[in-house]
Structure 1
Amino acid sequence: MQRKAKRAGALLAAVAAISMLGACSGGNGNGGNAGAPSASPAPSAATNSSGGEAAAAKPVEITWWNFPTYQPLDGEVGKYEKGILEAFNRKYPEIKVNLEMITFDGGPQKLNVAIATNSAPDLIYDAPGRIIDWAKKDLLAPLDDMIQPDVRSDINEAFWKQSTVDGKTYLYPVNTAPFLMGVNKTVFEKIGELDLLPLDRPDRTWTVDEFKKALQAVKDKAPDVTPLGFYAKSQAGDQGTRAFLANLGGSRFLNEDNSAVAINTDPAGQALDWIAQAAKDKTIVQGAASLAAADVNDLFLQGKLAFTINYSAVLRAQNATLKKAEFEDVLLPYPTADGSKPKLEPYLGGMAIFNNDNPDKIAAAKKLIDFIANDAEWGKKNLIQTGGLSVRNSVTGLYDDAEYKYAETARAFITDPPTIADGYAEVRTFWFPALQSALLGSSSGKQALDEFASKADAAIAAAKSGSK
């Protein structure tokens, strides 16, 4: 009953923050189709290795809700997941898995309603932003008993920090990729300015001045292309705006222990002033205050933007068939004032189990997680189908592609994201209003960041106090 009460409380928080619900996933906001058919009912008995019928394992039925984590097979969202379940049922015929595909647009709200009405799925493949918030509300089952020592030691501590609460693991990490900028390389080739991009540098690092020179070249020589995309409509894709501004201003978003805002510095305020002025000068897409991350990425896929600030190897793979114009897209890190190493936030995808007070369902869901992540045949296949890199240090070279190889190099720039901070679910609701205020000229960049810091710090402090 205590857990049910917490779920009801979780809905109240969700309703208050309903506008943020599409945020921080690996997708660009363009989800798949909901309601894919469930897997076929499993046989009631298993067959042993000698061909005889073994004693039937206890049947159990679980539900898996999945965002479009995997690239569609034959253009059908959910078809690849059905293949996973067919293979899984050959190994575990006693476990029936009901698959339901949800979208990045409506899925978060649907999840919050399900949690509050005690009808949450058993398994979800998602990112830390939501999963860790659920864990802090005591809605998930810990996974430590299924994580082998060799797996734990093969994954960087930065990923475990995003997967744990109070020393317990609630997210089983699988795929990752650093968030970067996407660049229309073809535009620079056409205007004869490809050398303005740092593609010949092994780490591709570059300065803010070099970046601005590249933007100006597009503005001067490709009048039908807007140099840079930016957005401030909703919380979706907030990681792109956070990292872009933090690197321009040479700061962190939150301080080292995630206890307070750190981005409200004079240099970061000046960088936000530059963004606002660039929008007026048409260096940045018009109407940025009313555009969402998905809108900007759509403009990029139409060939109308030279740079988009919320990109990754995963998005590049997902977008390969969605381009509405022919061009080559490449990856670049955010520029820094002196060309030093940038601070990149990682996309992290993994699985979590809702504690629906049924040990048999939890055990069955753990078997599915282990199969998806570690099966000798399907583990690697599933990872590649996400379009992501492995979180495991020992698993590299999955793709014969220059941009993937660069993305692996850029993992060296990954830092811990602010999404693990106490109260971050509320903190992020203050971020885009601050950006809008600066873009619309209601405040200077520094004033907007100070106002954000005041509200965000109070939310973090309240969350820390409430968790004690």
Structure 2
Amino acid sequence: MKKQVSAILTAGMAASLLVGCGGGSTSTAPAESTSTAASTEAAAPAESTEAGQAADITLWTYPIGKWGDSESVDALLADFNAQYPDIHVTVEYLDYTNGDDQVNTAIEGGSAPDLVMEGPERLVANWGAKGLMVDLSDLWTDDQKADISASVESACKDSSGAYYEFPLCMTAHCMAINKTVFEAADAMQYVDAENHTWTTDNFLKAVQAVYDSGKTDV
């Protein structure tokens, strides 16, 4: 039987943590993607100990930020184990050449990891659409929504309204342009300089204008 997985968004357009549990439903998702995410299967806790409840947990992580850096991850785990000494976390580092295949194979074989760290945008589109992720709508109370930007909330749910992710933090992502090149290509007309933004349509027009001006590496 396939397992469902819930996702926890760690950055607006950066990374998500997936936590496994049982269930099933299907949905579609937001378009912008970075890479295919992951699903997970909950680990059965080991026998209780005097210090607390022992457990072995597996974490598979893509190279999101410093999540691909073993030294940084080891430091996080050291802090975690200082508070939870009876929980042992085994980490496997994925990449974008074969990581998706590894996760898919693990899901189909019923041996998916407990946690997977990956970019949030494609989590809903891939695993959510396949019914492998848990609807987290009960976490999205009005109080919680008050502290979450609309763009991040939108990235966490699909077109049916099911929430497959929950933010731990939010970050701003920026784009920069070469103003001299844009001015020479008459592409500044497509930039909202006052508000430091542009529409997707104007972004494409600006790129085309710069390309047509003779800049082939756009």
Q: Which of the pair has the greater relative contact order for Cα pairs under 8 Å at 6+ separation?
A: 2
What is aligned with 2:34?
A: 25
- The 8 Å contact of residues 68 and 77 in structure 1, kept in 2 or not, is answered as yes
2:17 maps to what in 1? Answer: none
Instruction: Judge conservation of contact 2:58–2:114 (CA < 8 Å) in 1.
Output: yes
1:131 and 1:99, CA in 2 relative to 1: closer, same or farther beyond 3 A? farther
State the partner residue of 1:172: 166
- Distance across 2 between alignment mates of 1:108 and 1:119: 14
The 1-side partners of 2:95 and 2:205 are apart by 39
What are the equivalent positions in structure 2 for 1:137-286 lying under 5 Å apart? Answer: 137-143=130-136, 150-164=143-157, 169-173=163-167, 174-175=169-170, 183=177, 185=178, 188=181, 193=184, 197=188, 198=191, 201-205=194-198, 212-217=208-213, 219=214, 226=216
CA distance in 2, matches of 1:213, 1:143: 43
Within 2, Cα distance between the matches of 1:155 and 1:169?
13
Equivalent in 89, 113, 124 of residue 121 of structure 1: 113
Please tell me the residue identity of whatever aligns with 1:58: Q
* 1:108 partner SS: helix
Deviations 1:314-359 (A, max 9, x none): xxxxxxxxxxxxxxxxxxxxxxxxxxxxxxxxxxxxxxxxxxxxxx
Letter of the aligned partner of 1:188 in structure 2? V
Percentage identity across paired residues of the two chains:
23
Other-structure match for 1:3: 2
8 Å Cα contact 2:64/2:117 also seen in 1: yes
Within 5 Å, give how 1:370-385 maps onto structure 2.
none
Query: Which of residues 19, 31, 52 is equivalent to 1:57?
Result: 52
For residues 380-419 of structure 1, what are the alpha-carbon distances to aligned partners after superposition, in whole Å with 9 as ceiling and x for unaligned? xxxxxxxxxxxxxxxxxxxxxxxxxxxxxxxxxxxxxxxx
Structure-1 residue corresponding to 2:98 = 106
Is the alpha carbon distance of 1:170 and 1:211 closer, same or farther for their aligned partners in structure 2, counting shifts above 3 Å? closer
Q: How has the CA–CA distance of structure 1 residues 135 and 215 changed in structure 2, closer, same or farther, with 3 Å as cutoff?
A: closer
SS in 1 for 2:53: coil
- 1:10-49 correspondence to structure 2 within 5 Å: 24-25=33-34
- Summarize the Cα distance change of 1:167–1:212 in structure 2 as closer, same or farther, 3 Å threshold: closer
Question: What secondary structure sits across from 1:124 in the alignment?
Answer: strand
The residue that corresponds to 1:231 in the other structure is none
Q: Is the CA contact 2:128–2:164 (under 8 Å) kept in the aligned structure 1?
A: yes
Shift of the 134–203 alpha-carbon distance from structure 1 to 2, 3 Å rule, reads: same
CA distance in 2, matches of 1:211, 1:137: 35
Alignment of 1:376-395 (within 5 A): none
Alpha-carbon distance in structure 1 between the residues aligned to 2:154 and 2:205: 34
- Letter aligned with residue 166 of structure 2: Y
Aligned match of 1:134: 127
For 2:65, what is the secondary structure of its paired residue?
coil
1:83 corresponds to 2:75: yes
Deviation sequence 1:343-382 (CA, Å, 0-9, x none): xxxxxxxxxxxxxxxxxxxxxxxxxxxxxxxxxxxxxxxx
Q: Which has the higher helix share?
A: 1
Preserved contact between residue 62 and residue 96 of structure 1 (Cα < 8 Å): yes
Task: Summarize the Cα distance change of 1:58–1:66 in structure 2 as closer, same or farther, 3 Å threshold.
Answer: same
Aligned to 1:172, the other structure's residue is in SS state coil
Count how many residue pairs are aligned between Structure 1 and Structure 2: 171
Change (3 A) 1:142 1:92: farther
Tell me if the contact between 1:25 and 1:104 (Cα under 8 Å) persists in the aligned partners: no
2: distance between equivalents of 1:162 and 1:204?
19
TM-score (norm 1): 0.30
Contact 2:59 2:90 in 1 (8 A): yes
What's the TM-score once normalised by structure 2's chain length?
A: 0.58
